[in-house]
Structure 1
Amino acid sequence: MNSPGQIPFNSFISLNRLDETSIYVQLAQQIIQAIQRGFIPIGTKLPGSRQLAQTLSIHRNTVVAALQELESQGWIETKPNVGSFVLRNTSKARKNSEFSQTIIQNQYADQTGYDFEKSTILENPFETSTCILKFDDGIPDSRVSPLQQLSKFYTANLKRKKNTKYLGYSDQKRPATFREQLCNFLNQSRGLHIQPKNLLITRSVEMSTYIIAQTLLQANDLVIVGQPSYFAINMIFQQAGARIKSIPVDHEGIAVESLEQICLTQKIRLLYLTPHHHYPTTVTLSQQRRTIVLALASKYGFAVIEDDYDYDFHYDDAPLLPMATVDYDGMVIYTGSFGKSLAPGFRTGFIVAPENLIKELQKLLNIMDHQGDFVMEQVLSDLIEEGEIHRYLKKSVKLYKERRNYMSYLLARELHEYVDFDIPAGGLALWTNWKKDINLIHLQKQCAKANLFLPKTLLYQAKDMTAIRIGFGNLTESEMENSVTILRDSLMTIK
């Protein structure tokens, strides 16, 4: 039961003394409207007549008359020496009385009174499920994040007096500590040679790509992506008005011959790549093809977005350095996510590019996210400065390598007659090719019956493709065993 002191009567009751309708009638009408709209919940005890009169700055007798009218219509019940309560069943209200007819059914509009263009591009592709087990597209396990250490860093930064002035709305120039530390980290781990002026901090890779697309793309500009590619990024390019053309991806990455053929006949504005581990197939773009891509970009004048997807997760050999490390013509825009191995709330995105583009991108970011997250940036800065991020990455890479190996072992043991795959050199997912006659939607539905969720965004079925991207990073060994068992049993059911 709500306390009458919690109800903001002044926010929804407005009495007009110049109106021909009596004040007590106006009050009764507006209380009825408030009950109908849920502002005054069923069972609520209304304030006493003196208290309500004082709140609304009207005479007590006016309130008494309004309460009597409400009770006579069946909206409230008054109990002597206890108070007045909103009734659960208001069917006793005299619906046909002249008084009731004056009540305005003031509910929030179901639709706008104006036209607007609805997006068919940005329909939410993500699904939810109540299944106990779930395959994802390759995300880290937040359960193994050093939450206690992160909490200490966060608390310490909140308590620092020097940080207080940056927590509110302020135009004060913030210290560049995090950008400097992130520059050092990227230079050391990726072989880059950048300065803070080449770096822009965002909330995510998707935000980074959105800012780049809005800055560089115009209607009908041509954007090249791999086939298959990351659906969310494609949606961003389409929303910006671009035309998307896909080129094949094989065991060495995108087909550079196809890219060159397009260059000969069409003007390319942008090429989007995840060369370290192509999304979704996990293949690495070979060094030879990287060199060709850079040469084509310089020759034909198109920008390259190099998304360093999963760069921190490599298990077998030293990874190829990003294309941005040998981009001497300023063609590559390098994007990524720092802290991906941490819990999602402790990650941030970044863009590396020549200074003139960073300045232009900053203009849009200032409008979208002027304040940023100063405290989180300081936490991440501390993680780099004190070496915690390096220690945790080393530990997490070992764990995820073990999970990669165990998931590969289970699939090979239990499903070898249905599936074929290569063990990736890094990343948090396996690209699995299945027998052509397997209907992946039927498989999804059968798995769901056994409490295993296979999101549609992981399923790739076309005339020449039957594949599933299976993330292993977020699963323990027992969860992997149960998931693969359900996959096997579901396959046997639908065959």
Structure 2
Amino acid sequence: MFPFKSNITIDKSLKTPIYQQVSQQLMVLIREGKLSFGQKLLSSRALSEALGVHRKTITQVYDELISQGWLETKQGNGTFVAQNLPEIIPQFLEENQKNEKSKIAGFAFEKKDFLIREVIKATEKLHLDDGFPDPRLAPLADLARAYRSNLILGNSYQKLGYGDTKGSLWLRKELAKYLNETRGLNINENNLLIVRGTIMGLYLTSLAFIKTGDKVAIGESSWQSANISFLQVGAELLKVPIDENGLDVDALEDLCQSNTIRLIYITSHHNYPTTVTLKADRRIKLLQLAQKYKFIIFEDDYDYDFHYQSRPLMPLASADNQGMVLYSGSFTKSISPAFRVGYLVATEDVIDHLAHYRRIIDRQGDNMLETAIAQLLHEGIIQKHLRKGLKEYKNRRDFFCEELKRVFQDQVQFQIPEGGMSVWVKFEDEIDMQKTAETALKNGLYLSNGFHHNVEGKIKNYTRLGFASSTVEELKEAIGMLKRSLEFTSI
């Protein structure tokens, strides 16, 4: 007789019901060939006594496995392993192989190196990150109030059911009004697609408008997530130099004369990663080139709301009268990365087209969150928060830059950024950035080693040090920790 007692274990401390534990283990025994086709099982009474459980539990086990086709009954003879299961050849695995069963797939798939990159997580107390906002400043109480009211009031069938694939109509209307007032756009709700952040907007754009072999122009050091989206659809990346005035549009023109460019990705307001602003004359020429050579401009305006000098330059989209610009932004920087609400602005036909693609990967966004943000825009709360945040982030920028210069002196070089949430810093060539970042992390400070920003012969030992997500006191502590990490790695 098969030794059921030694092959089936029951753990009463688990939340999984006992009948499910026994059912799952019996199925495994059948799959592994330890219980063969047509083999007779113990009666429910005998098995319940062997396992020390109630007979009704085993009856429930048998009923469940019979209904799924694993077992069958023969009138008057008892319960058997089903005869019509496919032939199973028993496989005896070593203990280490058993541990690997949940790790390694049984089928082949292609791994693409460009998809593999560090995932930044908010885990360290001290952080000089890529340029993230401080969620402690966000209007969370107002957002919770708006979310709750939108959740419990109104027609629940409409609010909690399927909605428009373009996003909440209320949010699109409020956003259109807000963007017209602050960015000089001239749009309505039909020119907006709500997405889960800029990265989703990039992915949809790549799917909808780029084919294998198309050429996409990017800055010589650009945002990796954008590059990955383009590479994933088979695009060829053409790199354009960046200088103190932003993208070199003359170099771009040279590329256009010898290549058919489908799209250019640009962070015109605060170039990523260098933080410089694309000057007015270059903006005009870039739009002219787009019209002449018929390429799409994807304008990623990731932190437009935080500019510290005077009134920020209007986005390229505000001067686009030929429908060449796809304009993207999000609430990731203005509220928090956890709130995945962003937007794409384009002509109505482009928005309709992108909405079809959005539907097949993410039917719709978070309608409750979108309507809550719409309410805060309508009440002016987000606008008030941005004004407050601008003042606080400017104070943090000023302190951070002064402290960097005081503590590190000639060890670092940087320009005080006109806007944004990070400083583009060059460390002396003798400094080992990888060891410095590793040492800092061991001591509770996160910063990037900046390797992914390197450009052969031009950019080396640069990294972005974010200041916005930390208080002045935290920034002072972080700089002290960074200084000690440098000293340790240079010994």
Q: Shift of residue 127 of structure 1?
A: 5.1
Query: Which residue in 2 is equivalent to 1:8?
Result: 20
Shift of 1:464: 3.0
Shift of 1:190: 0.5
Further displaced range: 129-138 or 218-227: 129-138
Summarize the alignment of residues 327-366 of structure 1 with structure 2, pairs less than 5 Å apart: 327-338=320-331, 340-366=333-359
Structure-2 residue corresponding to 1:154: 147
Unaligned runs of at least 5 residues, structure 2 = 1-12, 65-88
Once the 2 structures are TM-superposed, how far is the Cα of residue 227 of structure 1 from its aligned partner? 1.9
**Structure 1 CA distance, aligned partners of 2:437 and 2:269?**
29
Q: Distance in 2 between matches of 1:213 and 1:276?
A: 22
Could you tell me how far 1:10 is from its partner in structure 2? Answer: 8.0
1:483 alignment partner in structure 2: 478
From 252, 259, 266, the counterpart of 2:252: 259
What is the Cα deviation at residue 173 of structure 1? 10
Q: Which of residues 456, 461, 464 in structure 1 aligns to 2:458?
A: 464
Q: Which amino acid aligns with 1:464?
A: K
Which position in structure 2 is the counterpart of 1:193? 186
Which secondary structure state, in structure 2, belongs to the residue aligned with residue 223 of structure 1? strand
Tell me by how many angstroms 1:366 deviates.
Answer: 0.9
Match of 1:284 in 2: 277
> Could you give the per-residue CA deviations for residues 56-86 of structure 1, whole angstroms, max 9, x where no partner exists?
359xxxxxxxxxxxxxxxxxxxxxxxxxxxx
Partners of 2:45 and 2:307 in 1: how far apart? 69
40, 44, 67: which one pairs with 1:22? 40
Distance 1:128 1:389, change over 3 A: closer
Aligned equivalents of 1:22, 1:270: Cα separation in 2: 67
Deviations 1:256-275 (A, max 9, x none): 11101111111111111000
Q: Which residue does 1:38 correspond to in 2?
A: none
Alpha-carbon separation, structure 1, partners of 2:266 and 2:144 = 35
232-241 or 103-112, larger mean C-alpha shift: 103-112
Tell me how large the CA RMSD over aligned residues is.
3.2
User: Which residue is equivalent to 1:47?
Assistant: 53
Q: State the distance in 1 between where 2:161 and 2:403 align.
A: 52
One-letter identity of the residue aligned with 1:246: K
- In 2, the alpha carbon distance for the partners of 1:172 and 1:228 equals 34
Which stretch has the larger CA shift, 172-181 or 397-406? 172-181
Cα distance in 2 for partners of 1:459, 1:270 equals: 22
Distance 1:369 1:479, change over 3 A: same
User: How far apart, in 1, do the equivalents of 2:110 and 2:90 lie?
Assistant: 37
Change (3 A) 1:112 1:479: same
Paired position in structure 1 for 2:136: 143
Q: Which amino acid aligns with 1:227?
A: E
The CA deviation at 1:225 is: 0.8
Output one character per residue of 1:344-399: Cα deviation in whole Å (capped at 9) or x when no partner: 33341111111111111111001111132111111011011111111111111111
Structure-1 separation of matches of 2:165 and 2:487: 64
Q: After superposing the two structures, state which structure 1 stretch, 285-294 or 452-461, moved more.
A: 452-461
8 Å CA contact 1:421–1:431 kept in 2: the answer is yes
| Aligned twin of 1:321 | 314
1:28-107 paired onto structure 2 within 5 Å = 47-53=53-59, 56-57=62-63
Provide the rounded CA distance (Å) in 2 between the counterparts of 1:22 and 1:104.
Answer: 23
The within-5 A match list for 1:288-327 is 288-327=281-320
SS in 2 for 1:201: strand
Which residue of structure 2 aligns with residue 208 of structure 1? 201
Q: Which residue of 2 aligns with 1:166?
A: 159
Q: Is the 8 A contact 1:126 1:457 kept in 2?
A: no
Give the whole-Å Cα distance in 1 for the aligned partners of 2:446 and 2:240.
30
In the superposition, relative to structure 1, how do residues 458 and 401 fare at CA in structure 2: closer, same or farther (>3 Å)? farther
C-alpha distance in 2 between matches for 1:260 and 1:153: 48
CA 1:27–1:103 in 2, change beyond 3 Å: closer, same or farther? farther
Q: Is 1:272 the counterpart of 2:288 in the alignment?
A: no
Aligned equivalents of 2:127 and 2:45: distance in 1?
A: 54
Q: For 1:172 and 1:234, locate their aligned partners in 2 and report how far apart those are by CA, in whole Å.
A: 26
- Mapped partners of 2:62, 2:335: distance in 1: 53
Aligned match of 2:3: none
After superposition, give the CA deviation of every residue in 1:30-66 in whole Å (9 maximum; x if it has no partner).
999xxxxxxxxxxxx96322443355359xxxxxxxx
Q: Residues 458 and 426 from structure 1, CA distance in 2 versus in 1: closer, same or farther, beyond 3 angstroms?
A: farther
Q: Displacement, 1:137? A: 0.5
Q: Is the 8 A contact 1:4 1:47 kept in 2?
A: no
Decide whether aligned partners of structure 1 residues 244 and 316 sit closer, same or farther in structure 2, where only a CA change above 3 A counts: same
Aligned counterpart, 1:227: 220
Q: CA–CA distance in 2 between the matches of 1:454 and 1:52? A: 57
Counterpart code for 2:488? T
Structure 2 Cα separation of the partners of residues 204 and 346 of structure 1 = 9
What one-letter code is carried by the residue in structure 2 that aligns with 1:269? Answer: R
- 1:157–1:163 contact (8 Å) kept in structure 2: no
Q: Give the whole-Å Cα distance in 1 for the aligned partners of 2:463 and 2:205.
A: 30
Question: Which residue of the partner structure matches residue 8 of structure 2?
Answer: none
Written as runs of structure 1 = structure 2, the 5 A alignment for 1:296-445 is 296-338=289-331, 340-445=333-438
Deviates more, 1:329-338 or 1:454-463: 454-463
Paired residues of 1:274 and 1:306 also in contact (CA < 8 A): yes
SS at match of 2:238: strand
What's the CA shift string for 1:441-479, capped at 9, x where partnerless?
122223234322223457644543221110001111121
Structure 1 gap ranges (5+): 33-44, 59-100
Q: Structure 1 residues 427 and 163, CA, compared in 2 at 3 Å: closer, same or farther? A: farther
Task: Please state whether the residue corresponding to 1:166 is helix, strand or coil.
Answer: helix
Instruction: Give the secondary structure class of the aligned counterpart of 1:284.
Output: coil
Matching residue of 1:88: none
Task: Give the deviation of 1:102 after TM superposition.
Answer: 8.2
Residue pair 1:205, 1:335 contacting (<8 A) in 2 also: yes
AA at the equivalent of 1:345: A
**Aligned partners of 1:57 and 1:138: how far apart in 2?**
58
Kept in 2, the 8 Å contact 1:247–1:258? The answer is: yes
Aligned match of 1:493 = 488
1:491, CA displacement in angstroms?
Answer: 2.3
SS at match of 1:335: strand
* 1:480–1:369 Cα change, 3 Å: same
- Report if the CA contact (8 A) 1:127-1:455 is conserved: no
The residue identity in structure 1 corresponding to 2:478 is S
Distance 1:21 1:302, change over 3 A: same
